[in-house]
Structure 1
Amino acid sequence: MTETLKSAGEPPKGRLTTFLKLLWADKFAFFAAVFLLIVVLCAVFGPLLLETLATKQNLRGRNAAPFDLEAGWAMILGADALGRPLLPRIVVAAQNTIFVAAGAVFFSMLIGTALGLIAGYSRGRAAQMIPRLGDVIMSFPSLLLAVIVLYILEPSVVNIVIVLAITRIPIYLRTARAEVLEVRERMFVQAAKVMGASDRRIVFRHILPVVLPTLLTIATLDFAFVMLAESSLSFLGIGIQAPDITWGLMVSQGRPYLTNAWWLSFWPGLAIILTTLSLNLLSNWMRIALDPTQRWRLEMGGRKNG
């Protein structure tokens, strides 16, 4: 209890230092976080700096092989079937890939958590009807549902975000509901009721902070899943369409050239693999760092390293 109060009273600088120490204690998670930071920077600034270079065609350099230092830094990973350099295209494609995954995870987490809080805390009809809604959505395979909807609608970025967000809502709904059902019986919640706190204050001030770390851990894992789902849809040809680009679309465009130009699909595929791997490593670290009963492992590791 004393440690919790000390942590709550720490200034922002002290919290940041503690966070970095815990992250440094797990080297895999640290380097995963650095890689994800680079990906986010590419997604934010890549199109502003490299969009012209990424779309510039050079038919004389069609399917140029990688590691040709004489061709310049932009051609270090080779070129595609229209002679466009792959490195700038991968950097620019990060924006759509991350935007789709972040948008789908954000909205599914927001809606699913809200419904889960209502279903878990309410004792009325909502507590029975909301879980059934999640069961209905989960009765359809998420990728199959996305394929059907995107086959009917125009495969745009907004439609892909909406479809993937809907398919992921039950994950957060079920998790939030299960957590709330357990937390609402704890002593501090009962004490808040006795003190006359409103239901809204109890849910958002006392219950949500306890449930949120679990949801954030799941969201980190779900981010990787949504990235793979978007890449699968683009690979099937019903995801984001040219001239927009994503890593999944780049893998799809390189499929006809796998026998004689493997690098067209390999580099964007490697970007997908490294990003999902980093998200999984960071999620595992978050699961430990956000759990007071497990955090001592990281603290002990940080002391040994120090």
Structure 2
Amino acid sequence: MSDTRTPATSVKAETPEPGKARKMLQLLLADKTATIAAIFLIVIIACAILGPLLLDQLATRQNLRGRNAPPFDLARGFFWILGGDQLGRPLLARIIVAAGNTMAVATGAVIASMTIGSALGLVAGYSRGKLGDIVPRIADVIMSFPSLLLAVIVLYMLEPSVSNIVIVLAITRIPVYLRTTRAEVLEVRERMFVQAAIVMGASHLRIIFRHILPVILPTLLTIATLDFAFVMLAESSLSFLGIGIQPPEITWGLMVSQGRPYLTSAWWLSFWPGLVIILTTLSLNLLSNWMRVALDPTQRWRLEIGGKKNG
């Protein structure tokens, strides 16, 4: 009689494991703090995209009868729940619209600095010649100047605009990605699978993009998430000093700066945009900590065990 039992390996093969995206979503939902941070950031991104399209006129229309209107008064409408500013414009609408410029500056600076810095770091780490020694020296020169002071000097000489702020902040953050990428590549380059690819005659581009870059990418994404908060705070600081985004454009930092003269009489002018800056920065930091663990195979088990306990 033949044995009709199904092998254990067949049963296992018939049960496909969840994809990487689904697995990451499960790990995210297992961490309540990271989930709340991610939801908050999704709301901020939605405001940044839709706010300027839907609420631009409401955020810029002046109504002196509502000048410094107190918060939690819905007599003028829902968007006055946080009060009005010194020109009678609803603060909630202005915060939503300001998210567009704030996120645009931070996103542009992080993407530009990450792309350029990572490319230079890959070249510097993989190259064994003089180029590998020259590129890090460039990063050392940039890092020898305080990043915020360098941005202040450059923007003082140039016209403050979104593009100039993105360029200046991107330049100051390039060394972070360059040095991190170079250090990671120097370590990964000596691993056996990379050496095997070299022996098999793989091209340099294939080794870099197929074998090295996927290994160091999680580290770069974690740094980018954390750096996003730093760039956003830097932009807010520049706007607070008066050399960032200029009116009629608005950012959260500029709103804090404009409300500073009214702190004793209308504290809400600076409080609400400042609170949004704090919450966004905190959410980015929490999400960065979660990504550092979730993308590390040696630490991921902590999230998996936490998810099973919560389940």
Q: By the TM > 0.5 criterion, same fold? A: yes
Map 1:109-258 → 2, pairs under 5 A: 109-258=114-263
2:297 to 267, 292, 296: 292
Match of 1:262 in 2: 267
Question: Letter of the aligned partner of 2:30 in structure 1?
Answer: A
Which string of whole-angstrom CA distances, capped at 9 and with x for unpartnered residues, describes residues 174-203 of structure 1? 000000000000000001011110011001
Report the CA distance between 1:302 and its aligned residue.
Answer: 1.2
Question: Matched residues in 1 for 2:19 and 2:168: separation?
Answer: 41
Question: Letter of the aligned partner of 2:254 in structure 1?
Answer: L
Pair member with larger Rg: 2
Question: Matched residues in 1 for 2:224 and 2:147: separation?
Answer: 16
Report the CA distance between 1:15 and its aligned residue.
Answer: 2.9
Match of 2:56 in 1: 51
Question: Letter of the aligned partner of 1:302 in structure 2?
Answer: G
Question: Matched residues in 1 for 2:60 and 2:43: separation?
Answer: 22
**How many residues matched?**
297
SS across alignment from 1:242 = coil
State the TM-score, normalizing by the size of structure 1: 0.95
Match of 1:87 in 2: 92
Match of 2:20 in 1: 15
Question: Matched residues in 2 for 1:69 and 1:116: separation?
Answer: 54
Question: Matched residues in 2 for 1:204 and 1:267: separation?
Answer: 44
Question: Matched residues in 2 for 1:16 and 1:215: separation?
Answer: 18
State the TM-score, normalizing by the size of structure 2: 0.94
Question: Matched residues in 1 for 2:172 and 2:274: separation?
Answer: 24
Question: Letter of the aligned partner of 1:278 in structure 2?
Answer: S
Match of 2:46 in 1: 41
- Structure 1, 31-40 or 65-74: larger mean CA deviation: 65-74
Report the CA distance between 1:19 and its aligned residue.
Answer: 1.5
SS across alignment from 1:63 = coil
Report the CA distance between 1:69 and its aligned residue.
Answer: 2.1
Question: Matched residues in 2 for 1:62 and 1:130: separation?
Answer: 54
Match of 1:3 in 2: none
SS across alignment from 1:238 = coil
The CA RMSD measured in Å over matched residues stands at 1.2
SS across alignment from 1:233 = helix
Runs of 5+ in structure 1 lacking a partner?
Answer: 1-5
Which string of whole-angstrom CA distances, capped at 9 and with x for unpartnered residues, describes residues 155-181 of structure 1? 000000000000000000000000000
Task: Give me the identity figure in percent.
Answer: 77
Question: Matched residues in 2 for 1:70 and 1:256: separation?
Answer: 26
SS across alignment from 1:115 = helix
Which string of whole-angstrom CA distances, capped at 9 and with x for unpartnered residues, describes residues 23-69 of structure 1? 01111111000000000000001111111111111001100000012
Question: Letter of the aligned partner of 1:22 in structure 2?
Answer: L
Question: Matched residues in 1 for 2:203 and 2:248: separation?
Answer: 52
Match of 1:271 in 2: 276
